Structure 1
Amino acid sequence: MSAGQLLKQANQLKRAGRLDEAIALYHQLIEINPNFAWAYNNLGDAFVKQGNFDEAAVEYQKAIEINPNSAWFNINLGRLFIEQGCFEEAIGYFRQAVQSKHNLLCELNGKHEECASNLSALTVNNELFPENLYFREETDSQWQFGDLDNLAKLTPETLRNQPERSKVAVFVAIAHLYQGDIQAARHCIGLARDWGLSQQSISQIIVSGLHKWFACSATFTGVRNFWYIGDWEALVQLDKADLFQRPERAKLALLVAAGYQQLGNINALRRCTDLALEWGCSNGLVYRVLTSGIYNLFGRGAAVARRYKVSLKYFKSAFAVMEIADNLQGTLLKSRIKMQIGQIPSLNNQRVINLVLNSDK
């Protein structure tokens, strides 16, 4: 069984609750490729489901050591720590997740600028909400619309006599995390605990908040660049955000569907494709995006089969069917090939990347 098949089967077993079998396969996969960060991360997920939190922490840490800039790995370890009551450790990993994702979004939003149209960014509601009797509704609105600056201005004294103060305290903590004020974030989480919010609830609010912010922080152009380079894991994370609120929700749902297509999650692919169609994507656009995905899968398969020239042809077709104009240096194509082949755990990745890129010379 190939490493790719091992990963797919292990993930299926994990989702089915057959955790011992999944863990055994993840270990086999790690023996094949000790540098495959997602194998360690998913192994950590399996240990969490078993309640083996110490082992989970070890595996999440290994994933971070291989890829310290992965927001998702840092979120997983932070969530684990906070559910164990280790708030100091959790805050550090959540902050690293915010910083890592911010850097990535900044890079991608500026990358391939010559190939991307200037689409409108999400409009953020920056209205100042005056204090009045509708405090709860207003803080929920600030949270919903990403008005983090005003959330961060809420003081403990303001919160103390308000309904649902513990929940709002976590909102304020997340706002402080985004602004880099770790001490204030710690203090607000401490208040939430003192006011009766469980560690599990705190963890759920923080993790959902980070996912929401990552989705809302990116322009559509930036999110589309995830598709350009083939960062499928980043795309499917958008499924955890409230896409319904986004002005480009139809195309975003389609991009998420494309991510699920590459990761082999057929049920999620169908669900997101149906949403894209319901929200206004044309049948033609859906057809082209999914056809492009099929070419991408063929390109990966041909690389594994050592048919390097055929692999290059398929990767080119993945862009051609979308009528994407690359620059003279082939920046988009090179980025896509490097990402796609780099994700295959059983290959000498750099060697195969070079063979594919140079196969038409």
Structure 2
Amino acid sequence: MSKMEKRKQKTTRQERKRKQHIDVQLLPSERALVNAEWLPADVDSHLLETAKIQWQFGDWEALAKLSTKVIQSHPERANLAMLCAAAHQQLGQLSETRQLMRLAQGWGASKEQVVRVLAGGVHNVLGRIHALSENSENALKHFRQALSLDHPVEPPSYLIKARVAAELEGLGEVNEHAGELTLSGIVSSSRKENTHDGEDDHATDNAYQQAQHDWATGNWQKLTQLDNVTLAEHPQRIMLGIYAACGHQQQGDGEAEQRCVKIVRQWGASTSQIKRFMLSGIYNRLARANALLGDHDEALGYFHKSLNTVSGDIPDAARHIQLRISSQLADMSKDDLKAILQKLES
């Protein structure tokens, strides 16, 4: 057999193997991307390396900007799609995550590989949860596991430090010692401000009541609109500012989230109250991640936690759980959403 015939036979085997991986339900537009061949003339030889660095250092926004067109035209498109999916997962962008997961499988990634990358994202979220709970040991353990999924051995300490710094920017500090996390940056504000924040005022303030309802039902885009120049003049500015921070958190705007957190601290908000709402938001993202992985029981558990965490602040928050689940999983298939809601009622 000539070299040309051997090369052709090898290419045929690779193509057959690649097509065998297309065992997921692809949309027509996605199937067209999967069946299209990559174009080697346009390949950036450093693209995969750059994407891995962005993933390792938790630069989710930069990694999420990688377009499907660029990914599709790269020979390592399956790996790029998985890394990009991980970034969208951390930003709470469920639809983009699902599409990239399907494409990655269509391009040759196994289900186990996809699950492993997304599991790393779950560990990353758990790291944030434990950090907000001031459990440094468990926080580091989960951050280490989030990075270990891409390494056969213990990840280097500088990567752990970099990931911690990226995930806890504005919430904690990274000690000079490799990988050691401290939470001394989270301190209670000593300032207490006498604003009209009594229970009666809360009950009669329409803006506050609407914001509370938007938070409970997961209307994050509307909550971000509270972040405007008139907020400082509102008698309930502390709680409205916290709700705005929650909206930015779920929309993946970490800079705006931290800005809102900083200003409500200056207005006299307690650290424990801020942490409850930020922790609730992480539970909400974790619930969506588990729903994405098809674990409906885990998803329901975290949705309950996302509301129960602030039961002291919003006593009736849990009664909105059906609306919250429906809004957070709106881009899932109707059958999947129906299955989760049926489990909720059982």
TM-score by length of 2: 0.41
TM-score by length of 1: 0.40
